[in-house]
Amino acid sequence: MQPQLKLLDDSLVERVIAKGFELLQDPGVKVYSEEGLTLLADAGAEVDFETKVARIPQPLVERALGTAPSGFALYDGEGNVAVRYEADHVHFDPGSSAVNFLDGQTGQHRQPVTADYVRYAQLIEMLPAYDAISTAFICSDVVEGIGDLYRLYLTLLYSSKPVVTGAFRIDTLHIMKDLLVAEAGGLEALAARPRAIFDACSSPPLVWSELTCQNLIDCARYGIPAQLISMPLAGSTAPVTLVGAVVQHTAESMSGVTIHQLAAPGAPIVWGGAPAITDMRFGSTPMGAIETAMIDVAYAQVGKRLAMPTHTYLGASDSKLVGRPGGLRVRYERADGGFGWHQHDQRRRHAGLFACPIAREVGGGRRNYRYGQASATWGRDSRRGAGSSPHPGSGASRPLPGPKTHPVMVCPGAVHPLRRGGPRLADCLARRWG
């Protein structure tokens, strides 16, 4: 029997949803995408194309929530179901917002490069606790304009797991789609067995940029799953109260679901987020604070009430040290806040990305810890609970190949990238970039 933790009672969940509907009508949501505004206006929303503000009526939102699918899956490179966004399935994947890289060999704090990403992809491929991989950081040794598609390209070459990713520009999403299509063997094949899910982040409070709104629309029309990432920061870009931040998250997410489903009814989408509180002493957003985990648990309750699969960043550490202090903070938060995801006995579930030491590299008798975001999906094996370790000894204890030997992954069932569509991916990039 799974433990349960509910921070909001049923009546408060209903009040949060009701207030979310109210916010979408007054003051409404600002949408910088002309196509997004047109979709809303044609569906009956009150749209001011001058101010970019759309007031979305409750029946329109409810209709969109009703067309969102009750469940879907992500597939690995061999076409097998690897991640289920439904019922009580729980899965883990590395998180996706590491800005810098702590070199495990030199201790240097620096920007990551291609060799780092290849080793990261190989590492995650070896760890059975992770059912998916994310495009966790950007390689600084390539042109900035292709950073998003380059990391997806590397992931498809060196990992067979499903991918959590995102686009930094409107045009690069189409190229990233082409990479996925090249591997899948066609757009219909990709829609039938999606390999990747794309994050789409609203801008608090109640704003959709042209980039993220268009990404949301394009993903829906391609049949590629999208993951909403609402980021209310209590006390700065959201009300200071935790429940106020949850209300804002609800409104932003419902507006995203509405735009997405208007573009393609029935397209797969996830109720996700990365909220936090604001530390007024330093102007920072402590992702490891218990209040942040409380917002996560509360908005998951709202998402489950709306029959949506959910995701969040959980188990983060704000420790500046690599080792026991950071690990203890992660473990304590996972014990306190993590059970919030296992509590909901409802139709769909996807739990999310958390920052923690993602693995141990053991080589030459020396342990080196890498920090990043790790990702958990409340998974296919419920025994991997919120307090369990994502570092199984069998995978984490194997020495990793050096950057110069990266074409071969040292793990059971590892496949050379050129056997898994490497030439097709290279040809795809060559056609698009000459």
pLDDT in tens, 265-307: 999 999 999 999 999 998 888 888 999 999 999 999 999 999 9
In a domain, 2, yes or no: no
How crowded is the C-beta side of 272, counted as CA atoms within 13 Å? 29
Pairing state of beta strands 72-75 and 233-234? unpaired
- pLDDT band at 324, cuts 50/70/90? low
- Tell me how crowded residue 328 is: count the other CB atoms within 10 A of its CB: 12
pLDDT tens, position by position, 121-154: 999 999 999 999 999 999 999 999 999 999 999 9
Q: In angstroms, rounded to a whole number, what is the distance separating the alpha carbons of residues 350 and 309?
A: 5
pLDDT-above-70 percentage for the chain: 73
- Give per-residue pLDDT as tens, 395-431: 333 333 333 333 322 233 333 343 455 666 767 766 6
CA 386-249-264 angle, 5° bins: 100
- Look at residue 167 and tell me if it is in a domain: yes
pLDDT band at residue 330, thresholds of 50, 70 and 90?
A: low
Residue 33 has a CB neighbour count (10 Å cut-off) of 22
d(CA 276, CA 289) in angstroms, rounded, equals: 8
Indicate whether 184 pLDDT > 60. Answer: yes
Instruction: Give the strand pairing for 133-134 and 163-165.
Output: parallel
pLDDT at 269: 98
Which has the minimum average pLDDT: 4-8, 52-56, 130-134, 146-150?
4-8
Q: Residue 305 and residue 195: Cα distance in Å, rounded? A: 27
Mean pLDDT for 358-375 is: 28
Mean per-residue pLDDT, 231-253: 97
pLDDT at 379: 29
Q: Of 339, 293, 294, give the one whose Cα is nearest residue 317.
A: 293
Partners of residue 228 on adjacent β-strands: 200
218 within a domain of the structure (yes/no): yes
User: Does residue 3 form part of some domain?
Assistant: no
DSSP per residue, 394-408:
HHHTSPPPPGGGTTS
Q: Per the structure, how many domains does the chain have?
A: 1
Does any domain span residue 185? yes
The pLDDT value given to residue 398: 36
Domain that holds residue 104: 10-433
Does the pLDDT of residue 334 top 80, yes or no? Answer: no
Examine residue 138 and state whether it is found in any structural domain, yes or no: yes
State the CATH number of the domain containing residue 158.
3.20.20.480
Helix-strand-coil split of the chain, %, nearest 5:
40, 20, 40
Dist CA 194 CA 153 (whole Å): 16
Residue 388 has pLDDT above 70, yes or no: no
pTM: 0.79
Scanning the structure block, which residue is given the tokens 């980039």?
211
Is there a domain that residue 303 lies in? yes
pLDDT for the residue numbered 174: 97
Residue 4 lies in a domain: no
CA–chain centroid gap for 354, Å, is 10
DSSP letter string, 266-330: T--EEB-B--EE-BTTTTB--TTSHHHHHHHHHHHHHHHHTT--B----S----SSSSHHHHHHH
pLDDT value for 287? 86
155 SS3 class: helix
Residue linked to tokens 């419920």: 382
User: What is the per-residue pLDDT for 1?
Assistant: 62
Residue 2 binned pLDDT confidence (cut-offs 50, 70, 90)? low
- Beta bridge mates, 373: 355
| 294 within 8 A of 241, measured Cβ to Cβ | no
